[in-house]
Structure formats: C-alpha cells, structure tokens
Structure 1
Amino acid sequence: MSSTELPTAPATAVTPRAGAVRVAEGERLRSVGLPGITLTVRSRPPAREGLPPALYVHGLGGSSQNWSALMPLLEGLVDSEALDLPGFGDSPPPDDGNYSVTGHARAVIRYLDAADRGPVHLFGNSLGGAVTTRVAAVRPDLVRTLTLVSPALPELAVQRTAWPTALLALPGVAGLFTKLTKDWSAEQRVRGVLALCYGDPGIVTPQGFRDAVEEMERRLTLPYFWDAMARSARGIVNAYTLGGQHGLWRQAERVLAPTLLIYGGRDQLVGYRMAQRAARAFRDSRLLTLPDAGHVAMMEYPNAVATAFRELLADTGQLTSSTNTGAGS
C-alpha cells in the first residue's frame, strides 16, 4: 500500500445520518465524504489553538465512542479526533466492501491526506492497533507518535477466549450466530461484551451500561452490522497469516515513530504475554502494563493511559509550551 494508491479529495462535510448515536458533553460529530467511503468523525474543541492533532482508531465491534473517556483528559495536549471505521459506529459500509486491515488502513490514510492533519499522534485499540501499525509503517510522514492499546498483532497460540472472534471470520458463522442468538436481549449482549472486554465489568457505571445497551439496540437494527463484524474479523485472521514485508510484525519493525504500548493483565482477547514481544518489535517503544485492565484500557483506566501518553511526549521532547498543561499536570 502506498500513497499513490490513495487518490484524495477535499473532505466534504455532510449531515450525520443517525441522530441516535451518543455524543458526550463537549463532543461533536460530523460525516466526511471521501472517494469510496463516508467516515463519521468525533471531535472535541482543543483547549487552545496550535495543539498538535491526534487521531484515534477503535477496535472490532467498537466505535469512536470508545475514546470518549480519554479524549477530555488530553485536551491540553492534543487536538483530538476519533474515527468510526467504515461499517462501524455511524460510518456506512465502504463502497468496495473491503474490511481487511489494509482496507481500514487505507480509510485512515485517505482521511488524513484529505484533511491535511498529518502528522498526528495516532492511537489504536485492538483491530485499530493493527490498522494504525500498518499506517505508521507505510506512511511515516503521517505519524508523530503511535499509542497502541492491546493491538491485534499475530499470536501463534491464541487464547481460548478469543476463539469466538476467530470463528466469526468463517463463512456462514455470522449468519448462524445471528439465528442462534435472535432471542438474546440487548442487555444480555452487552453483559457478554463487557465480560469479555473489561478486566472488571463492575467498574462500568449504571449510566454507562444503559448507554451501551442503547447503542447495542441501535447497531442491531443496521442491516450490515453482522457483515461488517464478520468481514473485519476475517480481515484480522487474514492479516495474521501474511508473511514477508506485509506481515504485521515485520511492519511493526518498520515503524519509526516513538511508540507507547499498553497491555492489560486481564485481557481475554490479546495475550498479556505478547507485551514483551511487541516492546522488542517496535524500535522506539515504551511499555505500560496494567495488571487489572482488560482489552480496553483507555475505557477502564483512562487516567493511567493519559498520564503515560503525556510521559511519552515529555520523553520524546514533544511536550512544548503549547502542550504544557493537561494530563498529569
């Protein structure tokens, strides 16, 4: 994948399609039309002019909402935007139906090129971690720093609790699962997701749970919901099998940007044991391990993630006078 493959056009603001999407206080949503894709972008007004831009990319089944707890903690450090990847959140499916890791990476690159926001502080969780690793490897000019929360990088021995995600990639499984779970309530589904993704689901507030149920109900009405999930899961599995220069571990070695790696000790989807391998693969890396965190540390322990990011800026000489207030200060 190279910049020559990615024709760009000026971002076109269009009316957000779904008013039911939750927007936290201080956030705003807009939709951006680009060749072949329409992306919903969540943002917060920066604390002041001149702050460096940041872009956040969610994981499988997630959305830009996954970053709503972290973004306000970084208001004094960066100018934050979070994407809904094609087919997730409030972004419609891509015109070409490409949900591969490379396809999602192209979507991120198209947005950054069209918006002329690069280089950015790039964040990725899970699938978004694989996507942003690929972006940082092939377009280093777009990335100031890279922060990866439980990135979905290839594992030889996948945890048993991650098998259902891998099985979802098999043809026909998504349709079968839909039939088998047609009587499950949104509450049941959300409890299952929280149990899988959080180290301690008990930290979710009652209001947070109600918001998650409301969002689940909305997503289940989308005709492409399961297709986007299955094809993106297939994209992760396929990315795990790629070798040579396109392999994710090889691309991790090519990343030039200072990298912050964050792993949770109770992560049931990405093995905690992969933390040290990742720290060796990324040439300029720092590692934060959170023993009680699960798969979504930026939602479970946003203050710890914000503090670690601020330390990354300080360590790399990017904590200038214009970013001297914010997380950890």
Structure 2
Amino acid sequence: MSSELPPVPAAAEPRVSAVRVAPGEELTTVELPGRTLVVRSRPPARAGLPPALFVHGLGGSSQNWSALMQSLANELDAEALDLPGFGESPPPDDGDYSITGQARTVVRLIEARGRGPVHLAGNSMGGAVATRVAAARPDLVRSLTLVSPALPEIRIQRTAVPTGLLALPGVASLFFRMTKGWTAEDRTRGVLSLTYGDARRVDEEGYRHAVHEMERRLALPYFWDAMTRSARGIVNAYTLGGQQGLWRQAERVLAPTLLVYGGRDRLVSFRMARKAATAFRESRLLTLPDAGHVAMMEYPHIVADAVRELLAQTAELPEGEGRTVTGPPGRETHTGS
C-alpha cells in the first residue's frame, strides 16, 4: 500500500451482521477492525455487473446516492458507504476523520469485500477521499466520478465560509448554542437551500424524509463532533503540499474520470471545473448550470447518462492508452495527455 495510506491491520474476513431492508434497498453492517460500516445497496438487475462504490460528502450519507444507484441499476452492482460518524455508521474507534483516514476506510472496505477494482464515485468531501484513493491505489479503481469534489480553492466562496469555520475550536459549540431554538424543519430548509441549486426540486415526501433524518442525526451524541473533526480534516487536507497535496494527487490519477460541476453550487466554486478538467489526465467534464452541490440528487438521470458514457470509455480504452473523448451537445470534454 502507498505510504500515503499507511496500512492498518485488517481481518482476513469481515464480519457482516444482519441485513435490514429499506424501500428497494438493503443496508448491510460490515464490521472491520476499528470500524463499523453501514453499506447501502440495491439488488443488481443481473449477475455479473461491474462493482461500484459511492462516497458521500460532509454531513451526508449513503442516501445521497439512492437516486443515482437506481438510475444505474442496469449498468452497475453499486454500493454506497456511510462513512464513519455519518449516516448509520458509528464513529471510528480512533477518532480519525481526516481525508487520509476516510480514504483508508474506503480502501479497507473494498479489499475486505473483494469487489475491486471498482467504479468509484465521490461527492464533495467524498470527492477528495475518492481522489486520494484513486491516486494511492490505482489497482482498486476502474473509473472515477467526482461530483463537486472538495479540492483546494484559493478564493473560497462566501457561502462556503461557515462550513470551513466549523474546523475552528469552539465554533461548533457556539453555533449549536446560537441555533438552539431552530427546529429540524429550519435546519433542513437551510441545508437544502445551501446544497441544491433550487430546493423546490425536493418534493414533499423527500422533504419530510429529510426532516426525519435531520431529527435522527441531531439526537446522536457524536453528531457535532463528527462534523467538526471532518471539517477540520478537509481544511488540513487543503493545506498539505508536495506529493500529498490533493491537486498533485489529482494529476496522478490514472483512471478515466468524470467531473460534474453545478453552476449554482454554493460550496464548491463552479470556476474550479476547468482546473479540475486540466488536472485529471483522462477526464470528461459535465457542467450543469442549474445544479447546486449535489447534482446526483438533483439531476440523477443526466448524471447517470454521463456515467454510462464513462463506463463505455473504460470498456473501450486500452490500458495505458490516451484518447480524445467527444461528449454529446452541451457537455464539455477534456482529455489529458
């Protein structure tokens, strides 16, 4: 394993507990040394489909990928991970919420489940995690899809500043006290307005589910700690230079890469799309002017179409050979050398 992802002792066989069923999906609890992970999946349309693993962003969960997994059920045998401390996965035993720590978790899960190489996807913080995995362990990644990846920006958007401030000591506690009177509905509306290009795209059922999930998370004793430590992990990753810098690692990714950016993203600047398309050597760029930070939730069918094109590219691209990729009208493409 690369020195950037120090090896951690892992069990030869993961201990998998009982599976409980969500609507159309399965939730499986996987016990690994120091980690208890919940993995969301849908029964594949047929046997033999290539494996995929999806990684959510800060404050998110595996549910963020449900719509895209459903759209790609005929193409992929997909799983979505609840990172430690998020969704239904409890905190990591070692309290490590760094980008490297989360990347190590993803690597251990892929290896323990014996599903690699996978088509790996990440959103926001999960995009940074997926980038680090793809750079350090190319043997585990067949393709890479990044939706608004949290890669370092020199000029942070004003609307993204509060998220970064969570990394500072005491800020989370202060924010909690200042917003103590906020209801789960208030908080949900705030999150949706921050992450969606147009929060009106969330229907009533989706909104009620989001409120219920917000109530559940706020009741967790480790909720704010996980948010704070993860925000700190993102900030720390932004400050790393040399070979461990995220942009340097992006340049080392060998897997064909799909980049998805939203024109109304309030957390990751749309202007970073071109830089990312240049950094990732074999990339295609999908820009959605009306999308926000979670394009795979807002426009799952459009993102799914782009993923299908990426899958076709991986099937046609001889190992180690670069080629120019031409996308359909309205989609920008870039191929590095």
TM-score, scaled relative to structure 1? 0.93
1:121 maps to which of 114, 119, 122: 119
1:306 maps to which of 304, 307, 311: 304
Is 1:14 aligned with 2:12? no
Relative distance call for 1:201 and 1:24 in structure 2 (3 A) is farther
SS across alignment from 1:88: coil
SS across alignment from 1:305: helix
Give the drift of 1:182: 1.1
Give the drift of 1:315: 2.6
TM-score, scaled relative to structure 2? 0.91
Letter in 1 for 2:243: Q
Return the alpha-carbon distance in structure 2 between the equivalents of residues 258 and 132 of structure 1: 13
Structure 1 spans left out of the alignment, 5+ residues: 320-329
Give the drift of 1:11: 1.4
Give the drift of 1:24: 4.8
SS across alignment from 1:42: strand
Give the drift of 1:313: 1.4
Return the alpha-carbon distance in structure 1 between the equivalents of residues 277 and 9 of structure 2: 34
Relative distance call for 1:269 and 1:107 in structure 2 (3 A) is same
Q: 1:168·1:174 contact (CA, 8 Å) conserved in 2?
A: yes
2:207 maps to which of 206, 209, 212: 209
- Report what 1:325 is aligned to: none
Give the drift of 1:7: 2.4
SS across alignment from 2:52: strand
Return the alpha-carbon distance in structure 2 between the equivalents of residues 7 and 110 of structure 1: 9
Is 1:229 aligned with 2:227? yes
Structure 2 spans left out of the alignment, 5+ residues: 318-337
Q: 2:143·2:314 contact (CA, 8 Å) conserved in 1?
A: no
Give the drift of 1:25: 2.4
- Report what 1:64 is aligned to: 62
Letter in 2 for 1:235: G
Return the alpha-carbon distance in structure 2 between the equivalents of residues 11 and 68 of structure 1: 24
Return the alpha-carbon distance in structure 1 between the equivalents of residues 175 and 228 of structure 2: 11
2:192 maps to which of 191, 194, 199: 194
Q: Deviations over 1:77-105 (max 9, x none)?
A: 11010000000000000000000000100
1:138 maps to which of 136, 139, 150: 136
For these two proteins, the number of residue pairs brought into alignment is 315
Letter in 2 for 1:224: Y
Q: Deviations over 1:120-169 (max 9, x none)?
A: 00000000000000000000000000000000000000000000001000
Return the alpha-carbon distance in structure 2 between the equivalents of residues 122 and 24 of structure 1: 23
Return the alpha-carbon distance in structure 1 between the equivalents of residues 187 and 109 of structure 2: 32
Say which structure, 1 or 2, has more relative contact order (CA 8 Å, 6+ apart).
1
**What is the aligned-residue RMSD (CA, Å)?**
1.5
SS across alignment from 2:315: coil
Q: How does 1:148-227 map to 2 (within 5 A)?
A: 148-227=146-225
Return the alpha-carbon distance in structure 2 between the equivalents of residues 272 and 11 of structure 1: 40
Return the alpha-carbon distance in structure 2 between the equivalents of residues 290 and 193 of structure 1: 20
Q: 2:57·2:126 contact (CA, 8 Å) conserved in 1?
A: yes
Q: 1:8·1:113 contact (CA, 8 Å) conserved in 2?
A: no
Letter in 1 for 2:10: T
Q: 1:7·1:110 contact (CA, 8 Å) conserved in 2?
A: no
Residue identity (%): 72
Return the alpha-carbon distance in structure 2 between the equivalents of residues 66 and 6 of structure 1: 28
- Report what 2:266 is aligned to: 268
Return the alpha-carbon distance in structure 1 between the equivalents of residues 276 and 186 of structure 2: 34
Return the alpha-carbon distance in structure 2 between the equivalents of residues 110 and 300 of structure 1: 30
Return the alpha-carbon distance in structure 1 between the equivalents of residues 314 and 134 of structure 2: 17
Q: 2:27·2:39 contact (CA, 8 Å) conserved in 1?
A: yes
SS across alignment from 2:276: helix
Return the alpha-carbon distance in structure 1 between the equivalents of residues 6 and 231 of structure 2: 27
- Report what 1:327 is aligned to: none
Q: 2:144·2:257 contact (CA, 8 Å) conserved in 1?
A: yes
1:239 maps to which of 237, 240, 243: 237
Give the drift of 1:5: 1.0
Give the drift of 1:314: 1.7
Letter in 1 for 2:8: L
Return the alpha-carbon distance in structure 2 between the equivalents of residues 138 and 174 of structure 1: 32
Relative distance call for 1:154 and 1:4 in structure 2 (3 A) is closer
- Report what 1:324 is aligned to: none
Return the alpha-carbon distance in structure 2 between the equivalents of residues 68 and 93 of structure 1: 22
Q: Deviations over 1:220-246 (max 9, x none)?
A: 000000000000000000000000000
Q: 1:30·1:41 contact (CA, 8 Å) conserved in 2?
A: yes
Return the alpha-carbon distance in structure 2 between the equivalents of residues 203 and 77 of structure 1: 26
